């Protein structure tokens, strides 16, 4: 708020300097006073008991922050190169070392890994070069969020985006499967799938730039899904398309339903892990698996693996369509191959990830007993 006397001009004087008996003069006086207030803000005068306007101070601090970020990034890069050289030297020494030296080497390697984790956390608050994908989509734009509040808000908005779009996609698939059978509605649904997965990959890349430990197989799954949705979008209407259409829409309904269940289950698990301090606030709901969750996971695992087998059935169906005498569309063969890749990825990653989580928990339990 501004004081009654602004820049040496009392507001009452400004009002009385014009004809006070007319509404027009009062309005004109208010405009003059507002203009003077804006001039005082721009010049740093009359900003209250705090002193002059902090615009200049803010710009100075921003320049200092930029310089400090560049210094920290350079220092971290040098230390990471030194650690890489030290790690290579330890590997060479480990080949000819004795039992005592091997223990020392193992201890040093553990310290190196701990230091790398510290660097990873520090780099989450420093600007960095975008990956190839973000450079192609956004250009060379700094996407690093500086505050924990901004990071968590972006991650929370990402989770809500997934939930809302999952519901919309499920309703869209139900509509296309049971209510309407038009090529236009199918194209709208397939385009929505392409946009959804493309947006997921962009947001996940931004989260990874801000320190989120997203698994590579999770991002790869979305890249493959984006490609498959694009193939489905370009598939022309015909006999082959109609033979696969209902099966694809039914699978989309089931997949959205499983993702809906998975979101609520894993969000509860991840909330508990954060409360215990075992997870970062930028971790996704997919990062919530731990061995103590097996008891509550038993109801969800049958749905997950049934979905994987349904993907396998889709690949087999597409393989049969590709051998059909009337099959002339390239989309059949391409989608069959990429669906097979997706099936292999699903069957390889989920059991392996759950097994690794269980083995890590068992190793920690053995150390404490």
Helices (H), 95-147: 99-123, 132-137
- Over range 314-325, report the average pLDDT: 90
- Inform me whether the pLDDT recorded for 46 exceeds 50: no
Q: Judge contact between 332 and 317, C-beta under 8 A.
A: no
Q: Which residue has the higher pLDDT, 27 or 226?
A: 226
pLDDT at 1 over 50: no
- pLDDT tens profile 266-316: 776 666 666 665 555 555 444 444 444 445 567 788 888 898 899 889 999
Residue 215's pLDDT is 80
pLDDT given at position 29: 54
- Angle, CA 11 vertex, CA 7 and CA 16 arms, to 5°: 130
Higher local confidence (pLDDT), 48 or 259: 259
3-state secondary structure of 63: helix
pLDDT in tens, 199-218: 999 999 998 888 887 888 88
210 contacts 150 by C-beta, under 8 angstroms: no
pLDDT per residue as tens digits for the range 134-151? 888 888 888 888 888 888
Comparison of pLDDT for 40 and 113, the residue scoring more: 113
- With beta carbons less than 8 A apart as the criterion, state whether 296 and 265 touch: yes
User: What are the CA-CA distances from residue 319 to residues 38, 239, 252, 328 (Å)?
Assistant: 70, 15, 19, 13
Confidence of residue 364 (pLDDT cuts 50, 70, 90): very low
Residue 97: phi and psi, rounded to 5, are -90, 160
Using H for helix, E for strand and C for coil, what is the string for 311-322? HHHHHHHHHHHH
pLDDT band at 339 (very low <50, low <70, confident <90, very high): confident
Residue 76 confidence (pLDDT): 86
Burial of 166-191, coded b for 16+ CB within 10 Å and e otherwise, reads beebbebbeebbeeeeeeeebeebbe
Beta bridge partners of 6: 9
With 0-12 / 13-18 / 19 or more C-beta atoms within 10 angstroms meaning exposed / middle / buried, residue 93 is middle
pLDDT tens-digit readout, 74-89: 888 888 888 888 888 8
- Neighbouring residues of 306: CB distance < 8 A, sequence distance ≥ 6: none
Q: Which two tokens stand for residue 104?
A: 């020392």
How far CA 272 is from CA of 157, 214, 275, 279, in Å, comes to 19, 19, 5, 9
Query: The pTM is what?
Result: 0.71
Position 68 pLDDT exceeds 80: yes
| Geometric angle at alpha carbon 170, from 165 and 174, rounded to 5° | 145
At residue 192, the pLDDT reads 97
232 pLDDT more than 50? yes
Tokens standing for 139?
Answer: 């250009």
Chain mean pLDDT for the chain: 77
153 pLDDT tier (thresholds 50, 70, 90)? confident
If we measure between CA atoms, which residue out of 337, 333, 308 comes closest to residue 322?
A: 333
Cα–Cα distance measured from residue 367 to residue 134, given in angstroms and rounded to the nearest whole number: 42
Report the pLDDT value the prediction gives residue 221, as an integer from 0 to 100: 86
pLDDT score of 109 more than 50: yes
Predicted confidence (pLDDT) at residue 14 exceeds the cutoff of 50 = no
């Amino acid at each position: 708020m501004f004081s009654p006397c602004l820049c040496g001009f009392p507001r009452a004087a400004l009002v009385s300097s014009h004809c006070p008996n007319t509404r027009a003069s009062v309005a004109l006086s208010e405009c003059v006073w507002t203009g003077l207030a804006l001039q005082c803000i721009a010049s740093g005068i009359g900003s209250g008991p705090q002193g002059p306007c902090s615009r200049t101070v803010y710009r100075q601090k921003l320049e200092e922050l930029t310089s400090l970020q560049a210094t920290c990034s350079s220092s971290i890069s040098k230390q990471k190169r030194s650690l890489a050289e030290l790690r290579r030297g330890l590997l060479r020494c480990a080949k000819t070392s004795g039992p005592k030296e091997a223990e020392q080497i193992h201890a040093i390697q553990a310290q190196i890994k701990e230091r790398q984790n510290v660097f990873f956390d520090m780099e989450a608050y420093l600007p960095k070069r975008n990956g190839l994908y973000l450079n192609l989509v956004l250009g060379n734009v700094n996407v690093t969020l500086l505050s924990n509040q901004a990071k968590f808000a972006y991650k929370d908005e990402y989770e809500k985006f997934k939930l809302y779009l999952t519901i919309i996609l499920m309703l869209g698939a139900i509509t296309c499967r049971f209510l309407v059978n038009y090529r236009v509605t199918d194209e709208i649904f397939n385009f929505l799938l392409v946009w959804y997965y493309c947006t997921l990959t962009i947001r996940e890349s931004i989260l990874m730039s801000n320190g989120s430990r997203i698994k590579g197989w999770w991002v790869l799954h979305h890249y493959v899904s984006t490609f498959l949705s694009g193939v489905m979008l370009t598939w022309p209407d015909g006999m082959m398309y109609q033979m696969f259409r209902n099966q694809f829409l039914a699978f989309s309904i089931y997949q959205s339903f499983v993702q809906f269940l998975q979101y609520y289950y894993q969000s509860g698990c991840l909330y508990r892990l954060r409360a215990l301090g075992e997870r970062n606030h930028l971790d996704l709901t997919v990062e919530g698996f731990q061995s103590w969750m097996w008891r509550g996971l038993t109801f969800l695992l049958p749905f997950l693996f049934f979905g994987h087998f349904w993907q396998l059935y889709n690949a087999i169906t597409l393989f049969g369509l590709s051998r059909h005498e009337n099959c002339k569309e390239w989309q059949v063969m391409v989608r069959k191959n990429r669906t097979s890749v997706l099936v292999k990825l699903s069957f390889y990653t989920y059991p392996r990830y759950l097994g690794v989580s269980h083995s890590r928990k068992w190793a920690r339990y053995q150390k404490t007993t």
